[in-house]
Homo-oligomer: A and B are copies of this chain.
Amino acid sequence: MKVAVDAMGGDQAPQVVVEGAVLAAREGHAVVLVGREPEVRGFLAGYPGAEQLPIEVVHAAEVVGMDEHPATAVRQKKDSSIVAGVRLLKDGGADAFYSAGNSGAVMAAALFVLGRQEGVHRPAIGGVIPLLEGRVFMVDIGANADCEAQNLLQFGHLGAAYMRHMFGIARPRVGLVNIGEEETKGNALVQATYPLLRESGLNFVGNVEGKDVTRGAADVVVTDGFTGNVMLKLAEGMQELMLGLVRGAIMSKPHYKLAGAVLRPGLREAGRRLDYTEHGGAPLVGVRGAVFIGHGRSNAKAIASGVRAAAHAARIGLVQKIQGDLLAASLSA
Contacts and interface: CB of A to CB of B under 8 A. Distances in A.
Interface string A179-207: 10010011110100000000000000000
Contacts of A212: 237
A295 to B, nearest CB: 12
Contacts of A177: 230
A64 to B, nearest CB: 15
Contacts of A166: none
Interface in A232-266: 232-246, 248-250, 252-253, 255-256, 258-260, 262-263, 266
Contacts of A142: 179
B235 A210 contact: yes
A67 interface: yes
B239 A253 contact: no
A149 to B, nearest CB: 14
Interface stretch (A8-16, A88-96, A269-277): A269-277
A227 interface: yes
A258 B269 contact: no
A131 interface: yes
Contact of A67 (B182, B224, B229, B245): B182
B209 A230 contact: yes
Interface of A: 67, 131-132, 142, 145-146, 177-179, 182, 185-188, 190, 209-215, 224-227, 229-246, 248-250, 252-253, 255-256, 258-260, 262-263, 266-267, 269-271, 273-274
Given A179-B230, A210-B232, A238-B238, 15 more contacts: A132-B245, A145-B186, A145-B188, A177-B230, A187-B224, A211-B234, A211-B240, A214-B234, A214-B240, A235-B238, A245-B271, A249-B269, A258-B262, A259-B260, A259-B263
